[in-house]
Amino acid sequence: MENMVNVYFFGKKYSVPADLTIMTAMEYAGYTLKRGCGCRHGFCGACATIYRIKGVNELKTCLACQTQVQEGMYVASIPFFPTDKRTYDINEIKPNQQIMMELYPEIYSCIGCNACTKACTQNLNVMQYIAYAQRGELEKCAEESFDCVSCGCCTVRCPAGISHPMVGLLARRLTGKYIEPESKHLTKRVEEIHEGAYDELIEQIMQKPITEMQELYNNREIEK
Protein backbone atom coordinates (compact mmCIF):
# COMPACT_ATOMS: atom_id res chain seq x y z
CA MET A 1 0.00 0.00 0.00
CA GLU A 2 1.26 3.43 -0.92
CA ASN A 3 1.86 6.00 1.77
CA MET A 4 -1.44 7.91 1.88
CA VAL A 5 -2.49 11.21 3.47
CA ASN A 6 -5.88 12.78 4.13
CA VAL A 7 -6.54 16.08 2.41
CA TYR A 8 -9.71 18.16 2.23
CA PHE A 9 -10.68 19.72 -1.10
CA PHE A 10 -13.21 22.45 -0.42
CA GLY A 11 -13.83 20.77 2.94
CA LYS A 12 -14.42 17.27 1.58
CA LYS A 13 -12.03 14.55 2.68
CA TYR A 14 -10.00 12.43 0.25
CA SER A 15 -7.24 9.91 0.87
CA VAL A 16 -4.44 10.47 -1.65
CA PRO A 17 -0.83 9.23 -2.16
CA ALA A 18 1.56 11.35 -0.13
CA ASP A 19 3.98 12.03 -2.97
CA LEU A 20 1.44 13.87 -5.15
CA THR A 21 1.18 17.61 -5.64
CA ILE A 22 -2.09 19.32 -4.73
CA MET A 23 -2.93 19.43 -8.44
CA THR A 24 -2.27 15.76 -9.17
CA ALA A 25 -4.00 14.83 -5.89
CA MET A 26 -7.16 16.59 -7.07
CA GLU A 27 -7.00 14.58 -10.27
CA TYR A 28 -6.38 11.43 -8.27
CA ALA A 29 -9.52 12.28 -6.30
CA GLY A 30 -11.47 12.45 -9.57
CA TYR A 31 -11.53 16.15 -10.43
CA THR A 32 -11.32 17.12 -14.10
CA LEU A 33 -9.66 20.50 -13.87
CA LYS A 34 -10.80 23.26 -16.16
CA ARG A 35 -10.00 26.32 -14.14
CA GLY A 36 -7.07 26.50 -11.79
CA CYS A 37 -4.72 24.56 -14.07
CA GLY A 38 -2.44 25.99 -16.73
CA CYS A 39 1.21 25.20 -17.39
CA ARG A 40 1.47 22.69 -14.52
CA HIS A 41 5.13 23.63 -14.07
CA GLY A 42 5.08 26.81 -12.00
CA PHE A 43 5.22 29.51 -14.66
CA CYS A 44 1.67 30.64 -15.41
CA GLY A 45 0.08 31.29 -12.01
CA ALA A 46 -3.24 29.63 -12.91
CA CYS A 47 -3.29 27.38 -9.85
CA ALA A 48 -3.19 29.87 -6.98
CA THR A 49 -4.27 27.98 -3.89
CA ILE A 50 -4.93 28.76 -0.27
CA TYR A 51 -4.68 26.16 2.50
CA ARG A 52 -4.51 25.61 6.21
CA ILE A 53 -3.19 22.56 8.01
CA LYS A 54 -5.79 21.24 10.42
CA GLY A 55 -5.03 22.57 13.88
CA VAL A 56 -2.62 25.27 12.70
CA ASN A 57 -3.82 28.83 12.61
CA GLU A 58 -1.67 30.13 9.77
CA LEU A 59 -3.20 30.46 6.30
CA LYS A 60 -0.78 29.53 3.52
CA THR A 61 -0.77 30.30 -0.18
CA CYS A 62 0.89 28.25 -2.90
CA LEU A 63 0.80 27.06 -6.50
CA ALA A 64 -1.07 23.75 -6.58
CA CYS A 65 1.29 22.33 -9.23
CA GLN A 66 4.42 23.04 -7.19
CA THR A 67 3.28 21.97 -3.74
CA GLN A 68 3.22 18.50 -2.27
CA VAL A 69 0.16 17.41 -0.26
CA GLN A 70 0.38 17.07 3.53
CA GLU A 71 -1.74 15.32 6.11
CA GLY A 72 -4.69 17.44 7.23
CA MET A 73 -4.42 20.02 4.45
CA TYR A 74 -7.62 22.03 3.90
CA VAL A 75 -7.40 23.28 0.33
CA ALA A 76 -9.30 25.91 -1.63
CA SER A 77 -8.20 26.89 -5.11
CA ILE A 78 -8.47 30.50 -6.25
CA PRO A 79 -8.93 30.03 -9.99
CA PHE A 80 -9.88 33.63 -10.55
CA PHE A 81 -9.57 36.85 -8.59
CA PRO A 82 -10.83 40.24 -9.76
CA THR A 83 -7.42 41.80 -10.20
CA ASP A 84 -7.67 45.38 -11.41
CA LYS A 85 -5.54 46.02 -14.46
CA ARG A 86 -5.55 49.57 -15.80
CA THR A 87 -5.12 50.08 -19.51
CA TYR A 88 -2.70 52.48 -21.18
CA ASP A 89 -0.90 53.14 -24.44
CA ILE A 90 2.71 52.07 -23.93
CA ASN A 91 3.82 54.55 -26.59
CA GLU A 92 2.18 57.51 -24.87
CA ILE A 93 3.19 57.05 -21.23
CA LYS A 94 6.48 58.11 -19.64
CA PRO A 95 8.68 56.16 -17.22
CA ASN A 96 8.20 58.27 -14.11
CA GLN A 97 6.54 58.31 -10.71
CA GLN A 98 3.61 60.25 -12.15
CA ILE A 99 2.42 57.31 -14.19
CA MET A 100 2.22 55.06 -11.13
CA MET A 101 0.20 57.74 -9.34
CA GLU A 102 -2.15 58.03 -12.26
CA LEU A 103 -2.68 54.37 -13.03
CA TYR A 104 -2.31 52.71 -9.65
CA PRO A 105 -2.97 55.38 -6.98
CA GLU A 106 -4.01 52.73 -4.45
CA ILE A 107 -0.37 51.74 -3.97
CA TYR A 108 -0.13 54.80 -1.74
CA SER A 109 -2.76 53.26 0.54
CA CYS A 110 -0.36 50.44 1.46
CA ILE A 111 -0.42 50.05 5.23
CA GLY A 112 2.83 48.09 5.35
CA CYS A 113 1.29 44.91 6.73
CA ASN A 114 3.53 42.77 4.50
CA ALA A 115 0.73 40.24 3.87
CA CYS A 116 1.59 40.38 0.14
CA THR A 117 5.17 39.29 0.73
CA LYS A 118 4.07 36.50 3.07
CA ALA A 119 1.57 35.32 0.46
CA CYS A 120 3.98 35.30 -2.48
CA THR A 121 4.28 31.84 -3.99
CA GLN A 122 7.60 32.84 -5.59
CA ASN A 123 9.07 34.20 -2.33
CA LEU A 124 9.40 37.67 -3.78
CA ASN A 125 9.64 40.78 -1.63
CA VAL A 126 6.32 42.10 -2.89
CA MET A 127 5.91 44.94 -0.40
CA GLN A 128 9.39 46.15 -1.33
CA TYR A 129 8.60 46.30 -5.03
CA ILE A 130 5.42 48.22 -4.28
CA ALA A 131 7.54 50.63 -2.22
CA TYR A 132 9.86 51.09 -5.21
CA ALA A 133 6.81 51.80 -7.37
CA GLN A 134 5.57 54.39 -4.90
CA ARG A 135 8.91 56.19 -5.14
CA GLY A 136 9.02 55.96 -8.92
CA GLU A 137 12.05 53.66 -8.80
CA LEU A 138 10.73 51.70 -11.74
CA GLU A 139 13.89 49.80 -12.59
CA LYS A 140 14.18 48.46 -9.05
CA CYS A 141 10.48 47.59 -9.02
CA ALA A 142 10.95 45.76 -12.32
CA GLU A 143 13.94 43.80 -11.05
CA GLU A 144 12.35 42.89 -7.71
CA SER A 145 9.10 41.76 -9.36
CA PHE A 146 10.72 40.01 -12.31
CA ASP A 147 9.99 36.42 -11.22
CA CYS A 148 6.27 37.15 -10.60
CA VAL A 149 3.92 34.59 -12.16
CA SER A 150 0.81 36.72 -11.54
CA CYS A 151 -0.93 34.08 -9.44
CA GLY A 152 -2.54 36.92 -7.50
CA CYS A 153 -2.12 35.48 -4.00
CA CYS A 154 -0.70 38.86 -2.89
CA THR A 155 -3.76 40.66 -4.21
CA VAL A 156 -6.11 38.27 -2.44
CA ARG A 157 -4.50 39.13 0.90
CA CYS A 158 -4.07 42.89 0.45
CA PRO A 159 -6.20 45.09 2.73
CA ALA A 160 -5.55 48.09 0.48
CA GLY A 161 -6.89 46.40 -2.64
CA ILE A 162 -3.63 46.69 -4.56
CA SER A 163 -3.19 44.58 -7.70
CA HIS A 164 0.50 44.00 -7.18
CA PRO A 165 1.28 41.89 -10.27
CA MET A 166 -0.13 44.63 -12.50
CA VAL A 167 2.07 47.25 -10.84
CA GLY A 168 5.15 45.09 -11.41
CA LEU A 169 4.16 44.46 -15.01
CA LEU A 170 3.82 48.17 -15.72
CA ALA A 171 7.22 48.84 -14.17
CA ARG A 172 8.81 46.08 -16.25
CA ARG A 173 7.33 47.27 -19.52
CA LEU A 174 8.46 50.82 -18.83
CA THR A 175 11.92 49.59 -17.89
CA GLY A 176 12.25 47.32 -20.92
CA LYS A 177 11.06 49.99 -23.33
CA TYR A 178 12.37 53.26 -21.94
CA ILE A 179 14.94 52.85 -19.18
CA GLU A 180 17.26 50.08 -20.31
CA PRO A 181 19.73 51.33 -22.92
CA GLU A 182 19.06 50.75 -26.60
CA SER A 183 20.81 47.78 -28.20
CA LYS A 184 22.64 49.57 -30.99
CA HIS A 185 23.84 46.36 -32.64
CA LEU A 186 20.20 45.28 -32.91
CA THR A 187 19.02 48.55 -34.43
CA LYS A 188 21.89 48.40 -36.91
CA ARG A 189 21.13 44.83 -37.97
CA VAL A 190 17.43 45.57 -38.42
CA GLU A 191 18.37 48.50 -40.67
CA GLU A 192 20.82 46.40 -42.69
CA ILE A 193 18.19 43.74 -43.30
CA HIS A 194 15.63 46.38 -44.17
CA GLU A 195 18.02 47.90 -46.69
CA GLY A 196 18.46 44.52 -48.35
CA ALA A 197 22.04 43.84 -47.23
CA TYR A 198 21.34 40.11 -46.85
CA ASP A 199 18.86 39.56 -49.66
CA GLU A 200 21.35 38.20 -52.14
CA LEU A 201 23.21 36.06 -49.62
CA ILE A 202 20.06 34.44 -48.30
CA GLU A 203 18.86 33.73 -51.84
CA GLN A 204 22.18 32.06 -52.57
CA ILE A 205 22.09 29.78 -49.56
CA MET A 206 18.46 28.86 -50.24
CA GLN A 207 19.43 27.69 -53.73
CA LYS A 208 22.35 25.49 -52.70
CA PRO A 209 21.99 21.74 -53.21
CA ILE A 210 21.65 19.62 -50.06
CA THR A 211 25.09 18.05 -50.44
CA GLU A 212 26.73 21.45 -50.44
CA MET A 213 24.66 22.51 -47.43
CA GLN A 214 25.75 19.37 -45.58
CA GLU A 215 29.36 20.19 -46.33
CA LEU A 216 28.93 23.76 -45.12
CA TYR A 217 27.06 22.69 -42.00
CA ASN A 218 29.37 19.91 -40.94
CA ASN A 219 32.46 22.09 -41.33
CA ARG A 220 31.16 25.37 -39.99
CA GLU A 221 33.23 27.19 -37.46
CA ILE A 222 31.69 27.31 -34.00
CA GLU A 223 32.24 30.38 -31.85
CA LYS A 224 34.02 29.56 -28.60
Decide: is 40 part of the binding site for other proteins (CB under 8 A). Answer: yes
Q: Are 153 and 50 in contact (CB under 8 A)?
A: yes
Footprint of other proteins on residues 61-80 (CB under 8 A)? 66-68
Which segment (84-92, 98-106, 125-133, 152-160) binds other proteins by CB under 8 A?
Answer: 84-92
Decide: is 33 part of the binding site for other proteins (CB under 8 A). Answer: yes
Q: Are 81 and 48 in contact (CB under 8 A)?
A: yes
Q: CB-based contacts of 197: which residues, under 8 Å, 6+ apart?
A: none
Measured between alpha carbons, how far is 57 from 76 in angstroms, rounded to an integer? 16
Q: What does the DSSP 8-state code read for residue 85?
A: P
Binder of other proteins out of 29, 53, 76, 131 (CB under 8 A): 29
Burial class of residue 136, CB neighbours in 10 A (0-12, 13-18, 19+): middle
Footprint of other proteins on residues 92-121 (CB under 8 A)? none
Binder of other proteins out of 11, 55, 112, 218 (CB under 8 A): 218
Write down the least CB distance from residue 81 to other proteins, Å: 12
Binder of other proteins out of 44, 76, 131, 160 (CB under 8 A): 44
Which segment (28-36, 98-106, 110-118, 125-133) binds other proteins by CB under 8 A?
Answer: 28-36
- CA-to-CA dists, residue 183 to 63, 116, 187, 203, angstroms: 36, 35, 7, 28
Q: Are 180 and 77 in contact (CB under 8 A)?
A: no
Binder of other proteins out of 5, 38, 107, 163 (CB under 8 A): 38
Size of the site for other proteins (CB under 8 A): 71
Footprint of other proteins on residues 134-163 (CB under 8 A)? 142, 146-147, 149-150
